[in-house]
Amino acid sequence: MWLVFCEVRLFMKYREEYFDFEKNIEQEWKKEHKAGGFKCSHCKRWVVINNHMGTINRNHCNMCLWSKHVDEQKGDRKAECQGGMKPIGLTFKYEGVGRQGELMLIHECANCEKISINRIAGDDAGEAILLIFEESLLKQNILDKLRQQGVALLTVADKVRIGTVLFGKK
């Protein structure tokens, strides 16, 4: 009987911690949106969240393009790492055979090396995106890691398509 009582108390404690964690995440999200943005943890600039950025959620700085490791699974906000996520390349979202999806940033956590893919927002700095693309061409060491996770790093052959997506010209 005592063992069951202890297990129930332990379960209740973890349940309470889980709901507190979920509540804190929701409060942080509301705080950022109410304030109209957040301070970038990398470049320290103010990052605006508004209706003109082309996406509902902002998960990276529109100037330096760094993100923060907040998700373990897409949108769960449960990552304990909280490390800075460096933009390391570009990919296209997979939309099926023969279909090109939207242009996406590839981020790697500076602490734990987790890879994530994030949508580019409408107000992201196009020149900074191109610079990340150019730098990724020199980093052949990341190709194997990305392939293992099913991520196709864009290559020189994709440069025209990237320019068309970013600037509307060929």
User: Would you say residue 12 lies in a domain?
Assistant: no
- What single letter denotes the amino acid at residue 111? N
Burial of 165 (0-12, 13-18, 19+ CB in 10 A): middle
User: Would you say residue 8 lies in a domain?
Assistant: no
pLDDT at residue 1, rounded to an integer: 55
pLDDT reading at 19 higher than 80: no
As a whole number of angstroms, the distance between CA 133 and CA 128 comes to: 9
Mean pLDDT of 80-90: 90
Sequence-separated (6 or more) residues with CB below 8 Å from residue 62: 47, 48, 53, 121, 123, 124, 125
pLDDT reading at 68 higher than 80: yes
User: Would you say residue 144 lies in a domain?
Assistant: yes
Domain that holds residue 118: 59-167
pLDDT digits (tens, 9 = 90+) for 99-152: 677 899 999 999 999 899 988 888 889 999 999 999 998 887 888 888 888 888
Q: Can you give the pTM of this predicted structure? A: 0.74
Provide the number of structural domains found in the chain: 1
pLDDT digits (tens, 9 = 90+) for 20-54: 555 565 566 566 656 677 788 899 888 887 776 66
Q: pLDDT confidence of 55, banded at 50, 70, 90?
A: low
CA 93 from centre of chain: 13
User: Would you say residue 147 lies in a domain?
Assistant: yes
pLDDT at residue 110, rounded to an integer: 92
pLDDT reading at 159 higher than 70: yes
User: Would you say residue 7 lies in a domain?
Assistant: no
Q: 93: number of CA atoms within 13 Å, CB side?
A: 10
- In degrees and rounded to multiples of 5, residue 68 shows phi and psi of -130, 135
pLDDT at residue 56, rounded to an integer: 63
User: Would you say residue 34 lies in a domain?
Assistant: no
User: Would you say residue 52 lies in a domain?
Assistant: no
User: Would you say residue 25 lies in a domain?
Assistant: no
